[in-house]
Amino acid sequence: MKLSKNYSLKTLNSFGVDIKAKIYADVFSVDELKEVMLANELSNLKKLILGGGSNILFVKNFDGIVIKNSIPGIKIISEDDKNMIVESGAGVVWDELVQYCVDRNYGGIENLSLIPGSVGAAPIQNIGAYGQELTNTLFELNGIFIDTGEEKIFNNSECKFSYRSSIFKNEFKNKFIITSVKLKLDKNSQVNLTYDPVKEGVEKRHIKNPTIKDIREIVIDIRKNKLPDPNEIGNAGSFFKNPVITKKKYKVLKKVYSDLNYFPVDRNNVKVSAARLIEICEWKGKRIGNVGTYNKQPLVIVNYGDATGEEIYAMAMKIKDEIKKRFDITLENEVNVL
Ligand SMILES: Cc1cc2nc3c(=O)[nH]c(=O)nc-3n(C[C@H](O)[C@H](O)[C@H](O)COP(=O)(O)OP(=O)(O)OC[C@H]3O[C@@H](n4cnc5c(N)ncnc54)[C@H](O)[C@@H]3O)c2cc1C
């Protein structure tokens, strides 16, 4: 196993922030991972598991070991008349898994096409988009506890999934490494058109009976038009989660901002668009030096050049403060700040 010292992570985080890890290792198997976890000489070091680096903002050098999870492999575990269980190594690129499944007509993750990052990180924040979330298809996942090297399988309910969250973002944050993920996919999947732009995409293309392949193409199209490509402009997707507020508070806001829509949450609460709140505060497309909000989607903070992590974080906090002052709503980070 090769350990690199003082290693630049600039090309390994989608913000393109130029910071260094004290030690860096790229692991390709569970055995290699255990070797790093349990090595005596590394035992006192802080550990960070890195996938595609597309949901992380580094604000300083990482004074510990960064372990890039590159465990490969996609295989079919079992099959019956209705379902397939597909297992993927945590280091597989998420969209390659989606492509693999869509090509074989296994439905359930096609609306999650083109989300950047690795399979192993997908359960961390229960990735979601256009009407699907990982929790809808996750069967179980395998992993290792960082401190003890103990292996454990989590089934879906043990993962405690919720909106952009899971047990791995809370109780087991930085304590558990996901090594593989099993998904239960549908062989006769109904396409998911709950999200308007996807439905409109189907109508625009005059498709009578859309397939999951059509949905994947439409979602890729929407995403390419709406979101910046991290290979061209550094970003980590939505910086904040959409805030959940009471229905009572929503009614008050709606009187002033008639176009503020909501998504139902439960009897008393609704979710509102963080992007719309940011836009109301006139932050859409605003730029300060090398940092800005994306002109087509203000929830995305972008690095126009050589911005530091601190500069990016400072802008995010300015936005957060303004939303708090204007609406008395506290935005929560979706991006992991380190
Ligand atoms: C342009 C763009 C669009 C995006 N759109 C969406 C979207 O529509 N929906 C959505 O949900 N997200 C979206 N994201 C966010 C991001 O793609 C997801 O959060 C993705 O799952 C991150 O994967 P990653 O491998 O890059 O994780 P990383 O950024 O490498 O890691 C994220 C967190 O997970 C931890 N981690 C990573 N791998 C493991 C592992 N194997 N075991 C344990 N912990 C691990 C890390 O330590 C870190 O805390 C978007 C990002 C970008 C840049």
Ligand 1 in reach of 69 Cβ (< 6 A): yes
The string of pLDDT tens digits covering residues 138-168 is 999 999 999 888 999 999 999 999 999 999 9
User: What is the pLDDT confidence band of residue 299, given thresholds at 50, 70 and 90?
Assistant: very high
Pick the atom of ligand 1 nearest to 49's CA.
Answer: 47
Q: Is 164 a catalytic residue?
A: yes
Ligand 1 in reach of 53 Cβ (< 6 A): yes
Burial state string for 10-39 with b = 16 or more CB within 10 A and e = fewer than 16: eebbbbbbbbbbebbbbbbebebbbebbee
pLDDT of residue 121: 98
Q: Is residue 75 predicted with pLDDT exceeding 80?
A: yes
The end-to-end CA distance of the chain, in Å, is 26
The string of pLDDT tens digits covering residues 240-265 is 999 999 999 999 999 999 999 898 89
CATH of 74-186, one of 3.30.465.10, 3.40.50.300, 1.20.210.10, 3.40.50.720: 3.30.465.10
Give percent above pLDDT 70 in the chain.
Answer: 100
Three-class DSSP category at 328: coil
Location of each CATH 3.30.465.10 domain in the chain: 74-186
pLDDT of residue 138: 98
DSSP β-bridge partners for residue 5:
23
Ligand 1 in reach of 135 Cβ (< 6 A): no
pLDDT of residue 148: 87
Pick the atom of ligand 1 nearest to 116's CA.
Answer: 17
Q: What is the rounded average pLDDT for all residues in the chain? A: 95
Catalytic-labelled residue, pool 88, 118, 164, 217: 164
pLDDT of residue 232: 94
Domain 234-337 classified CATH 3.90.78.10? yes
Q: Is 203 a catalytic residue?
A: no
Ligand 1 centroid–CA 205 distance in Å is 31
State mean pLDDT over 270-293.
Answer: 96
Task: Name which CATH class applies to 3-69.
Answer: alpha beta
pLDDT of residue 168: 97
The string of pLDDT tens digits covering residues 5-62 is 999 999 999 999 999 999 999 999 999 999 998 888 888 999 999 999 999 999 999 9
Q: Is residue 175 predicted with pLDDT exceeding 90?
A: yes
What is the C-alpha separation between 278 and 10, in angstroms, rounded?
28
pLDDT of residue 189: 86
Q: Is residue 282 predicted with pLDDT exceeding 90?
A: yes
Q: Is residue 65 predicted with pLDDT exceeding 90?
A: yes
Pick the atom of ligand 1 nearest to 54's CA.
Answer: 26
Ligand 1 in reach of 9 Cβ (< 6 A): no
Ligand 1 in reach of 25 Cβ (< 6 A): no
Tokens of residue 69, six digits? 């999870």
Is beta strand 291-294 parallel, antiparallel or unpaired with respect to 176-186?
unpaired
Ligand 1 in reach of 55 Cβ (< 6 A): yes
DSSP character string of 215-280 = HHHHHHHHHHHHS--TTTSEEEEESBPPPEEEHHHHHHHHHH-TT--EEE-SSSEEEE-HHHHHHH
Which residues, 6+ apart, have CB-to-CB distance to 103 below 8 Å?
A: none
Q: Is residue 1 predicted with pLDDT exceeding 80?
A: no
Name the residue with the closest Cα to ligand 1, atom 21: 122
Q: Is residue 193 predicted with pLDDT exceeding 90?
A: yes
pLDDT of residue 39: 86
Ligand 1 centroid–CA 124 distance in Å is 8
Ligand 1 centroid–CA 55 distance in Å is 4
Ligand 1 centroid–CA 258 distance in Å is 33
pLDDT of residue 263: 87
Name the residue with the closest Cα to ligand 1, atom 36: 121
CB count in 10 Å sphere of residue 203: 11
The string of pLDDT tens digits covering residues 91-142 is 999 999 999 999 999 999 999 999 999 999 999 999 999 999 999 999 999 9
Three-class DSSP category at 141: strand
pLDDT of residue 261: 87
Ligand 1 in reach of 242 Cβ (< 6 A): no
Q: Is 104 a catalytic residue?
A: no
